[in-house]
Structure formats: C-alpha cells, structure tokens
Structure 1
Amino acid sequence: MRNPLRWPSHIQILVALISGAAVGPLLAGEQGLIGPALGEGLAQVGQLFLSALKMLVIPLIMASIIAGLNQEGSRSPLGRMGWTTLVFYIATGLIAVTVAIVLANWIRPGELNGVPLAAQIGLQTLPGDLDPTLLSGQQHIALFLQRLVPSNLVEAAVEGQLLGLILFSLLFGLALRRLHGAAAETQVRFWTGLNQVMLAITDGIMRLAPVGIFALIAAMTARTGFSAAGPLLWFMATVMAGLLIHLMVTLPLLLRWIARVPPRRHFQAMMPALLMAFSTSSSAATLPVTMDCLERRAGVSRRTAGFVLPLGATVNMDGTALFECVVVLFVAQLYGIDLTLAQQALVLAVALLTSFGVAGIPSASLVSIAMILSVLGLPLEALGLVLGVDRILDMSRTAVNVFGDTVGAVVVARLEGEQEILIESPDVREHRLREQGD
C-alpha cells in the first residue's frame, strides 16, 4: 500500500476533511464518546494552523504584488493587465448576482405554497456583536474610500483591511518600475527575494495542512453537528444551486472559451486551494495556498499570480455577492414583501459593490447584508435565521470565491500571452518541480 505521506496534497486534504467530519460528532457535548476536552484541543490545533496561514498574508501580498510588477521581462503594458483583471471580476460578479436573483425569484425559498413563512418560523434577533450601525449608501461609500486610503497603513494591516495595503503595494510597485540604476535593482532584488522566502514558508506550512484541516473540521462538527439546517433547506438549496451554477458552468465556460484550457485539469490543479477555502471559510488564509497551486500546479507566472490573486482575494467575491442577493430576497419573501424590478436591480448593484472589500474571514458578509436590508427597509431580525446555517454556506461560497480568483488569473495569463499553462497533469508538474528543487 502506498505511503499516505506520498499521496498528492489534495488527496491528503480530502481525507483529513472527511475524517474530521466523522470524528467531530464523537466529541460533541458532555455525552461525547471521546470527550469534549479532546475537541477543545483539536480546536486549538486548528486555530494555530489558521493563524500560521494568516501570518503569511500581509508580507505575501506586498511581496507578490511589488515583485510581480517588477519581475524581469515583465515590461508589457501594465494597464492592459489591470483593465483585463478589473473587467473580468466585474463581469463574473454581475453574472453571479443575476443568477442569484433569477433563482430566488423562481424557487422563492421564503414562501411555502405561496404563503410567507415569517409567521411559521420563530425569528431570532440579530446577536449584538453582529448588529452594525445602520449606514446610508453615502456613508457606506465613504467607509469604503476610507479603507481604500487608510491614514495609518500599519493599523489597517493589523485590522485586516487589505484594500489599503493592496493599493499601497500597487503604488509602490508602479513607482519602482519608473526607477533605474542601483536603487531600483536593490529594491527589486529585495522584494523578489522576500516573495521567494514567503513561498518557501508557505510550502512548509502546507505540509501540515492535513493535520490542521482535520482539527478544524472535527472541532466545527463537534460544536454544530449536521442538523443546523432545519426549515431552511430551501434557502440553502437556492444558495447552493447558484454557487454550483457559477462553479460548474459559468467559470468553466470562461476557461474553455477565453483561456482555452481544459476546465477539468484546472479543477485538479486548484483542488488543494478549494479544499483549504472550504475548510477555513477564509479567502485571506487560503491566499498562500492559492498562489502555490497556480504557480506550481497550473504553471501561471509569478508576475500574473502575484498581481491578480491578491487583488481578487479582496475585490472578487462572486460567491459572496450571490449569497447576499439570495439572503435579501429570502428575507423579503419571508415577510411577503414583493420587491419591484427597480428594487431588485438595487439589490444587484449594492450586493456587487459591497462584496468588493469584504474581509476574507468567516461570516464577514453578514454586516454587508445587514446594510442592504436597512437600505431597503427590511427587518434585520431575520438575519438570525441565516446565522444558523451560515457556516456551511460560508465554506461553500468561499470556495467559489477562491476558484473565481484562479480562473481570473488563468484568463489574464493567457491573454497576456503565457503558453505554459496546464499543459501537463498538475500532480505530474508538481512532482517534477519538487524533484528539481524549485
């Protein structure tokens, strides 16, 4: 029998995911067959693994963007790459929210035989720690701009507001491109070296991924079990249907038609990142893994991956925007409120805009959803229903967000003329690179 330590990384992660889900219920409650103490210990192990990944995010983002903008031989027009990336993210986001609105109006998860379910479901109030200050549209735009241009970059980085960090890194990298001589050469060597060091650390931490993911999933299922869905199955089904359409239809078609690469091979290459995103519900924590998969398993250049992925991890939230649309229409249907076409168009636009810059951490979109509900005058208390089933949906939409980032990187790379993308099996390529010591 083949040594499990020599299994491909995505197989190890998948086994850890399934094993954690199987062991978790044995740890639940005082009557758990193994005991809650072990469950708490696993939760600590999982959090340590998650913290190790998050520790890499800030230096990795800065180094990858700055080094990517100044990589040797990367003097093709930067504006074209930037505009291509932006157009791709906006287009896929619009497709995602349109699918969400169509499905929510067709399935109508907030009703049963045409009767609103609010009276039949005990609505909970929104927990105080998630109850945001109600913001007008103008105030929300102002908050977005403040995060885009923070007065204190270090404070913004500590608080996980990555928009300002990405903008600063872009400005730094663009300014460095205009320098010449020894000063420029020293800076480029420093950021390139730092980027290589961060990727090496990422590779080391990823060898512990099966252990960390087993601990995370076991601890989660010990706390929540599998019965949280209850009467919200239709709501969950609507969200999952939208996510599956985007994951299995929209994005693969873009890979086939625009990038002209095999979607199946891309899925294989990104499997470790998808499993990581699903396990952690954090696109920010998954970023180091995503970059490693794109470069080592798919063959995308460091320049393109370093530019597109950090930007996508902050502004490309197709799954989040889709989820926000379904939640808002679900709440309206619960109370028998028929939103007009204009109001649904507003939901579409606001969901797309608020998904830009949503923190890449679990359940961060709930605050944005509360803002959209307040703009439409819908009750916030219905969000309490969503909290009961948000974890599994958060895991799923994070995986879609991450996969959308990788598709964007492949599309941009192909449009930039890169040819060595997915020309061989991802596992074969990764094994070959490891043997070469790359």
Structure 2
Amino acid sequence: MSLTNRILLAMVLGIAVGSLLNLLLSANALGVSFGALIQTYLIDGVFDVLGRIFVASLKLLVVPLVLVSLICGASALGDSARMGPIAGKTIAFYLFTTGLAVTIALLVASIVAPGEGMNLQTSAEFVPKPAPPLTDVIVNIFPTNPVKAMAEANMLQIIVFALLFGYAMSHAGEPGRRLAGFFRDAEAVVMRMVSLLMEVAPYGVFALLSKLFAGMGASAILDLAGYFFTLAAILVFHGLVVYPMLLRVLAGLSPAVLLQKMRPVWAFAFSTSSSGATIPVTLRTVEHRLGVHNSVAGFTVPLGATINMDGTAIMQGVATIFIAQVYGIDLSMAALFGVVVTAILASIGTAGVPGVGLITLALVLEQAGLPVEGIALIIGVDRLLDMIRTVINVTGDAVASVVVANSEGQLDQEIYHASADTLDAREA
C-alpha cells in the first residue's frame, strides 16, 4: 500500500475508533471500571502521547526547513531580480482569495440563514485576547534578533531574515557560492528527515484523530447543525470549486492532478489543525510532487501558512451572519462590507497570534456592532471545523505556489503531470 493510502486509511480508522470509543463510554457499555481504564491508559495515555509526539516532531522540522529552503531560494533568485514580483504575486493572490472567501460566506449564509428561529443563550462571556495593532505587526515583521525569531518560531521574521541572507549570499562572490552549497546540502538532509517522519505518519494521524473523536460527542454538532453544515459546505465549495477554477484560469493546469496529490497533506492538516505544523509536508509535496521550484515554494508555502486564512475568513463570514440572526440584529450593507475589509486586514494583522481564528472573529464582530460574547455559541464545534479550515488553507498555499511558479517559469510540468505512483517509484 502506498504511503498516501496508508495515511488516509489511518485517518479513517482514527475517526472510526475514536467515535466508537466515545459512543461506548457515553453509554457506559464497557462498565465503570473498564471504561475508566480505557479513558486513562488508552485515550489519555497511548493516543495522547503518540499524538503529541507526532505534532512535536512536525514542529521540530518547521524552522530549519523554512530557513534553509528560503535561503536556497533567495540565493537562486538573487541575481535575477524576481524576488519582488514573486512576493507581490503571492501576497496579492492570498489577499484576493481571502476577500473572495468571506464574500461567498456572507452571501451563502444570508441565503441559508442558519441562525433564524434560534433562541440560544450564551453559556459564558467570551473574552478574546486583544490583537496587536496593525502598525506593530508591520514593525515586528523585521527581526532584531534572528536567533530569537527562530527560537520562538516567528515565521514572518524568519522569512525576512532568510530572504535577506539568501540575497546577500548571492552577491557575496566565492564565499556566497560555498555557503550556497552548504545550505543545499542542509536542505537535502532536512527533506530526508521529513521523508522519515512521513513513514511513521499513519500512526501519528491515527492517534491524534482517535483521541479527538473519543472526546467529541455528536451532540455538539447536532445542537448547531445549521451553522456547522453551512460552514462545512462553503469550506468544501471553496476548496473543491473556487481553488480549482483559479488554477485552471490563471495557470491553465488540471486541478484534478493537484487535488489528488494533496491528499496526504490534507490528512496532516486535518489531524493537526495547524498550517504551521503542516509546513514540512506541504513544502515537500509542492516541490517534489507538484514541480514547483524551491525558489518559489520556499517563499509561498511558509508565507501562506502565516497569512493565508481563507478557511478562517469563511468562518468569520458565516459566524457573523449566524450570531446576528441569533440575536435578531439586521446588518446593513456598510456593515457587511466592513466585515469583508476587516477579515482581509485581520488575516495579516493577527498573523502568528495563538487562537487566531477566534481573535479575528472578535475583531469582525466588534466592527459589525455585534456582541462578542456570541462567540461562546460556536466554540463547541469550532475544533472540528478548525480541522476542515486548515485543509482549505493548505490547499490555497499549494494552488498559490503552482500559479506563481507557472507565471514565473519555475514550474516543472513533467513532475506536475506525473502520476503519484510514478513519483513514489522515483523516490523509492
């Protein structure tokens, strides 16, 4: 069985085993004593430990992989003066798709009206952590201490430092060429570490999803079925319709090829709920299975994991309409336009802040004049929806990488169109 199929099988089994354990424990079908043992030693023990070790291993590779990939890419582009256009195209693509995502979400949610007729009361007042001012975010993009930035995994600062270092390296003559060889070797070693981790990925994915679904009952979804399925449907539409259309129109490439090769990345993104933790797998797939040159992928993927928040923007649009309907508040066109603008700016302004989805939603609700404590209504199902949002976000990172690379002549068409089995055979 191929690695992709093993990862997908582990994902399905993890969801099934976790859901079965939740059903059995909720119904007390295993007895009090045996149920407690299962909860303590299997769910909170084996599954929890294996899952956390797996995520920690992924995060271990993020900083070194982003650093060496960006340095190699920037040094390769340093003499061609294409770094600026690549950055401009990438940022423009991410901001455009974010605006499109929240606009679609507002339109569909207004039509479906998932919150009409509900008289839910907030269980507790949600107090979000305040987002930093946009001016501070812009200043903080530029590192004062690159070692500290790497220690804290500050992606934007690492990106800036790596780009400057790689550009300077390309203009340093013989010393720069010697260093370029070192970083190319380092990149090959780190990518090998990613390959080794992917061999044990099925076990990590299985443990993560088993632990999550063992503690998540179906009642949370049923209580908010209208909101949950409206948001999930829009997310799927954006991932399987909007992105493929953009890929076909902007690059003239077959979306089916990209979607097929993204399946293992989706499994990682779904199980970890983190675009950042998925960077090693996304970058490996974009470079080695979609044919994007490292000089482009090394920039687009880390930046996308930091500021590309289409899935979160969709959640903000649907949640805004949902909360407004629950409280019986009518939103004007000016308020809806403000939601779109705030969601786009928040995708950059809160980059790297923990709990970014709920923070940006708080900003959007405040801008629209809605009660922020309404967030408490949707917290119960946000964890599962966050997993789906992450899948959409990493898909957007890959599509942006392919579109930008194609426009710059940095896309290997042979690799892009090669079948997954052919590429697996080459790697073997």
TM-score (norm 2): 0.90
Structure 2: distance between partners of 1:22 and 1:394: 19
Structure 1 residues 39-78: aligned runs within 5 Å: 39-40=43-44, 41-71=46-76, 75=80, 77-78=82-83
Equivalent residue, structure 2, for 1:295: 287
Q: Say whether the 8 Å CA contact 1:12–1:210 is kept in structure 2.
A: yes
CA, structure 1 residues 399+275, in 2 after alignment: closer, same or farther (shift >3 Å)? same
Aligned to 2:124: 125
Amino acid at match of 2:69: S
Deviations 1:375-421 (A, max 9, x none): 33322221112110001110111000000000011111111123334
8 Å CA contact 2:307–2:348 kept in 1: the answer is yes
**Alpha carbons 1:26, 1:32 under 8 Å: kept:** no
* 1:213 counterpart = 2:205: yes
Over the aligned positions, Cα root-mean-square deviation in angstroms equals 2.3
Deviation track 1:197-221 (CA, whole Å, cap 9, x = no partner) reads 2111111101111000000000001
* CA distance 1:47–1:368, shift in 2 (3 Å): same
Q: Please give the alpha-carbon distance, in whole angstroms, between the structure 2 residues aligned to 1:149 and 1:426.
A: 39
**1:163 aligns to 2:124 (yes or no):** no
Match of 2:398 among 395, 406, 421: 406
User: Is there any run of 5+ residues in structure 2 with no aligned partner, and where?
Assistant: none
Paired residue type of 1:19: L
Question: Match for 2:376: what amino acid?
Answer: G
**Given that residues 277 and 402 in structure 1 are in contact (C-alpha distance below 8 angstroms), is that contact kept between their aligned partners in structure 2?**
yes
Query: What is the aligned partner in structure 2 of residue 4 from structure 1?
Result: none
Give the deviation of 1:276 after TM superposition. 0.9
Which residue of 2 is the match for residue 38 of structure 1?
Answer: 42
Partner Cα separation in structure 2 for residue 156 and residue 271 of structure 1:
31
Contact 1:300 1:420 in 2 (8 A): no
Instruction: Choose the corresponding residue for 2:356, options 349, 359, 364.
Output: 364
- Report the Cα distance in structure 1 between the residues aligned to 2:254 and 2:371, rounded to whole angstroms: 45
Q: Secondary structure in 1 aligned to 2:416?
A: coil
Q: How does 1:6-405 map to 2 (within 5 A)?
A: 7-28=1-22, 29=25, 31=28, 33=30, 35-36=38-39, 37-40=41-44, 41-71=46-76, 75=80, 77-112=82-117, 117=118, 120-126=119-125, 131-133=128-130, 140-177=133-170, 179-356=171-348, 358=350, 363-405=355-397
- Counterparts of 1:284 and 1:91, CA distance in 2: 21
In structure 1, list runs of 5 or more residues that go unmatched: 1-6
Going from structure 1 to structure 2, the CA distance change for 1:360 and 1:405 (only over 3 Å counts) comes to farther
Structure 1 stretch displaced more, 88-97 or 24-33:
24-33
Amino acid aligned to 1:403: T
Change (3 A) 1:345 1:148: same
User: For 1:53-107, what per-residue CA distance to the aligned partner results, in whole angstroms no more than 9, with x for missing partners?
Assistant: 0011111111111111123897362222222212221221221111111112111
- Equivalent AA in structure 2 for residue 328 of structure 1: T
The CA distance in 1 between the partners of 2:349 and 2:417, in whole Å, is: 34
Q: What's the offset of the Cα at 1:227?
A: 2.7
State the alpha-carbon separation in 2 of the partners of residues 388 and 68 from structure 1: 42
Match of 2:289, SS state, is helix
SS of the residue corresponding to residue 285 of structure 1 reads coil
- Structure 2 Cα separation of the partners of residues 9 and 187 of structure 1: 34
Change (3 A) 1:121 1:160: farther
Q: Could you say which residue in structure 1 is the equivalent of 2:424?
A: 430
Q: Distance in 2 between matches of 1:216 and 1:362?
A: 20
TM-score by length of 1: 0.88
Q: Cα deviation per residue 1:270-318 (whole Å; 9 max; x = unaligned)?
A: 1111111111111011110011111222222222211211111111111
Larger deviation, residues 343-352 vs 190-199? 190-199
Match of 1:316, as an amino acid? N
CA distance in 1 between partners of 2:212 and 2:65 (Å): 28
Change (3 A) 1:18 1:56: same
Please give the alpha-carbon distance, in whole angstroms, between the structure 1 residues aligned to 2:322 and 2:142.
Answer: 35
Instruction: Give 1:152 shift.
Output: 4.3
User: 2: CA distance between counterparts of 1:343 and 1:150?
Assistant: 36
Residues 194 and 251 (structure 1 numbering): CA distance in 2 closer, same or farther, change over 3 Å? same
How many correspondences in the alignment?
A: 415
Give, in whole Å, the separation in 2 of the partners of 1:147 and 1:327: 30
Partner of 1:420: 414
